[in-house]
Amino acid sequence: MVFIGVLFINLLFAAAQDSGYCDASSKSCDLNVDEHKLIFYDVNPPEGFNLRRDVYMRFAIMLAEAQKHGKRKDWQLVLPPWYHLYHWKISRKPTPWGSFFDLNSLKSYAPVTEMYEVMSRTPKLTIDRLYVLQNFEDAFEGGYFKEKWEISKDDCYYEGFWGYNNITVKEKICVKFQGKISKLWELVQLHPKDKKIMFSHGEIPLHDSYGTKSFWDCRWSMKFNNKLIQIASKYMADNLSCDTTKCSTYLSVHWRRQDFIYGRKDYVPSIEGTAKQIDKAIINNNLKINKIFIATDALKSEIEKLEEQLKILNYKPFLYIPTRKDIELHGDGGIAIIEQIICSRSSYFIGTHESTFTFRIQEEREILGFGSETTFNRLCPDKGKCDKPSKWTIVH
């Protein structure tokens, strides 16, 4: 979610090499065999960056909770590299998680390892079992939701492996699944001698208990890469008069446009309506600020119109416009995180209804200790019903 304009060009992510990424075609990989059992997973290609972060949490919590109870001690979760996300505008090689997050912090919560670390230990990876997860046609058969799974006779398709050409699978199993993610252990138990298993469509299993202490412990461990924090901090100091993690000098807005205008047009305001709602929030909350930071995927023409509307109301709009070097080094995912950091530290935040980008900012603000009244706010349509956003507050 970011306006970069003409700077978006096809650039390969050479920085991944610096993070230790071992290219699939490389012959320099170490030949040591990994002693741990490994869980691999993948997510439906159209799903975005911020939903994938939530899917990671489901698997990390599943494994961490099992090990907390003395089970699955010899298992590790393999982090799927970021590769060819549909909404990313920059062509790139598989990007490791360490490019966006503090890997040591992730490992402090769950036994995770990067894909390049796995590939550096073997010239060819063979996965024992690939479970291709599918939805049941009727999730509420008989009027209620029942946790269940069944081996499907229907053919299922998977073509992925993140650009690696040296990964094979011994057996592919199609599974219709609905329920909590811990139920996947029942599939694992079908073949107890397997050492490497994989689940595709990892977005299908649900959280065991969303919003619990385990959820927030995992979410807290998802600290951002320090380089991205430094870039965001410098931008805030230079443009928004803030050098702390809880700022009082600006309001931030996540203004989702593009597909939301068409697919969820009843949820989003007009450009004029957006400016009026920002003004109303500042007046109603007695905020002594005139700086507005905007994170958006809007077209350049739309942004210019919103800026014009805000200036008429005596506000100073700001957007993070990355340099070409920023784009080369950090890509779409890194730029999105920089924007999220800036939004998470503002005195007041207004998000977009049902956007995972907004959800991640709200979570970050909970971790930083902002009040709910400054965090769980949304842009409303110009007319009609406007439900208040759900409040998922932190549990310590």
- Annotated active-site positions, please? 47
Specify whether the CB–CB gap between 296 and 3 falls below 8 A. Answer: yes
Dihedral (CA of 188, 191, 192, 198) sign: negative
Count of Cβ atoms closer than 10 Å to residue 269 Cβ: 18
CA atoms within 13 A on the CB side of 177: 24
Dihedral (CA of 299, 232, 116, 170) sign: negative
Kindly state the tokens that stand for 166.
Answer: 């040296």
Count of Cβ atoms closer than 10 Å to residue 388 Cβ: 10
The three-state secondary structure class of 148 is: strand
Q: In whole angstroms, give the CA distance from residue 170 to residue 168.
A: 7
Specify whether the CB–CB gap between 273 and 283 falls below 8 A. Answer: no
